[in-house]
Chain A
Amino acid sequence: MNGLGSKDTNRFVPIVGRTSIFADPASPVQPRHDPRTFGGNTGYTDLVAKVMVSLPDDLLRAVDVEAERRGTTRSGLLRELAEETLRRRTIHRAERMAQINDLDGPIKGHGGRVAELVKANRPEP
């Protein structure tokens, strides 16, 4: 996900998501990785973004062979691979969370009201 050609990528460690349906279009703060503005060439046909992607010849050949093997298009294969990669990463995070729950003994109660605790322990100006 690197190499998107925008210095704004430096702001994220590494952050990937999709433009949320919840984003407020009236907000002065807009997503830095909005696909309409996040580097590269992006256009829209109906509701699907059209993007220009740079690939070396040998990789492109391999993509086309795999697309034919799966009975899909080059575009469809790239979309599947992107979805698979992102889904795999999220599944890995969910599995990791389950492992973390078992680290260092049982999770205990601390009295609740965590939002207030966060504020109470922030440094005073």
Chain B
Amino acid sequence: MSLWFLDSSVLLAAEDTDDENYGDACRLLGGSDPLASLDLAFYEVTNVAVRAWRDPSAAHRLRERVAAVAGDGGLVRADAELISDSAALADEHGISVYDAAYVVAARLAGGELVSCDRRDLVARGLARLPRDVGVNRPSP
């Protein structure tokens, strides 16, 4: 049993059939390993659904998915210490504090970060792509 820590891109990929990670993101969300995320995901997925996609139905499903993750492995709450650690990591790797916050939160939770962000996270070894996560279907 591994704890997979999802950033907002994985949650969004499961809501966009055009995305190359759609199938793997859906498989991960429906899999048998515990999932967790950062509270920032609530804002980010809703922002993309409302501002970029202009799709209220997608926004609704995305909110419900984040809530489902919160009821499973939980949502890490951002606080001063997490942001401080994120700022240091962002500086070290030349990435945004937003991206770094997911990396730090995943480490705090004892999980591994999963992201669709190849350039800033996967290529630097800070996250795995959904397709590189082996998950089983839940058994009843």
Residues on A close to B: CB < 8 A? 10-24, 27-34, 86-87, 89-98, 100-101, 103-105, 107-115, 117-122
Question: Do residues B79 and A31 form an inter-chain contact, with CB atoms below 8 A?
Answer: no
Taking a contact as CB atoms closer than 8 A, the residue among A22, A93, A108 that contacts B58 in the complex is A108
Within 8 A of A (CB), among B61-109: 61, 64-65, 68-77, 79, 82, 85, 89, 96, 98, 104, 107-109
Size band of the interface chain B makes with A = 35 or more
A115/B117 in contact, CB under 8 A: yes
A110: chain B residues at CB < 8 Å are 15-16, 18-19, 52-53, 55, 58
The CA-CA distance from A108 to B56 in the complex, in Å, is 12
* CB–CB A107/B96 < 8 A: no
Report yes or no: B19 in contact with A90, Cβ–Cβ below 8 A: no
Expressed in whole angstroms, the Cα–Cα distance for A73 and B74 within the complex equals 31
* Chain B residues whose CB sits within 8 angstroms of the CB of A87 once the complex forms: 32
Q: Which of B124-140 contact A (CB under 8 A)?
A: 138, 140
Residue in A closest to B88 when the chains form the complex, CB atoms: A28
The answer on a CB contact under 8 Å between B16 and A93 is no
Other-chain contact of A93, B35, B109, B110, B116 (Cβ < 8 Å): B35
Instruction: Say yes or no: A11-B18 contact (C-beta < 8 A), given A17-B3, A23-B110, A110-B53.
Output: no
Q: Are A18 and B9 within 8 A (Cβ)? A: no
Q: Report whether B12 and A118 are in contact in the complex, using a CB–CB cutoff of 8 Å.
A: yes
